[in-house]
Structure 1
């Protein structure tokens, strides 16, 4: 460090100030890796190869963020793969990214600002992960019914309520966690599969080529499109008349578990999983647990249906 630091643009009598300092480290010096200076201080280290540069960076034993300035894709790949285990975030800066760059190490709400080792495990700041560090978090162990009661979110295996009124005819004020509709059945036909193929243009061989489909160890013959199964399921559980359900705005966690072949019969069990009223609107969000099963009771598809539902049925 220099013996004296010149104060530029500040009053040295009013506080402690330090001007920008650039240090050059001798080859093999350990101090740049063991002592972390805060302030307008940078250290220049020389290296003879990319492998040596990666080795030098790793000696810091963990960093929040690192920056690499290059327009060479191969250099970017080699250095990034080498530095990734030692940095929470890497900024790869080239002439395309430079105009919108936030700068080295700038924490942003959408980013995780953290790293391994001494930098703190990669979760200091950034989006919801940063907020979680300020919250009490507890794992709860119990029966499905007890977990549902505690969390106010239906848990697989908890009790269901099969009523005389279709849940789609209920407003948020009337719906309860666990309300369930068990649909009628539908037998999938080869004509269903062919019509869906013609309509969508999805001619994947598992739906159109009997010989190739039979050779596939996962299918063993012509199978229905996964999205055909989901579409048929919607036709089974939807109550079509106008009512409290205003719109379907998506699905989450969709998984196709068992192939559906021509001749298979499917049905749907739809259960109110979570109810979230919106304060600023006269409707809220209802998340439904959907299980499509075959005649053997084996699930063929599972997913969450997301709907907007009026808070009340009246004016």
Structure 2
């Protein structure tokens, strides 16, 4: 079987793609390839300097491309709402930005930072953009998770991890939340009769800034794959006609099976409800409607 490459991507002219964290890591080559294939690309990032530099790089690599920067801080729900209010259309939402393996910190809204940024920020963003996504035929939401989700466990009685914090388990928990969200979004979108596709990707061990090796950081590229290769699963999930809702794409664009915890519909529904409570974003367009009883 021939390994999939971005050369296989379809023409995306007329489509608008939003890539969170597109200023660095796998987000930048993701945005670059989407632009190379004709999409209008929004580089959504915290830093105007880095985001603007990413746009400049895309325009140098793809003269005539449609690329723009927009400020988005996923650790600040007010910023998420402000960003979403400025979006006019979206066909592809790539929930790519992520932080990991850091000491315990909190978002501006008081959430544990890895969970708040990697899951709650993207949950709110997706919900706020949902009406625009549902208005576009063939719209997709791709959420970047990780095989590290297998290390995660969600304690609904201690979402702030105040009773014990490990940077590794906290990261795994946020990536588990990403998969629970992706699968629940697909179930709700399908139940509501929409054509929205929700999928997830695992980039593999990639040379990005999320991995910190201290003085050995220059060796990162020797042992890990490039960010360009790490972007392939996201690009495949976002554009391949073979993708089905609920699929989890891994390295070499192989379909992976999420862990048993990630496939728990009970935990997914509970996480969904808690996320609505914490963010105030309700996904009304695909909300479950109880059947009336005679």
TM-score w.r.t. the length of structure 2 is 0.21
In terms of fraction of residues, the more strand-rich structure is 1
TM-score normalised to the size of structure 1? 0.20
Give the structure, 1 or 2, with the largest relative contact order (CA under 8 Å, sep 6 or more).
2
Structure with more helix by fraction: 2
Question: Rg: which structure is higher?
Answer: 1
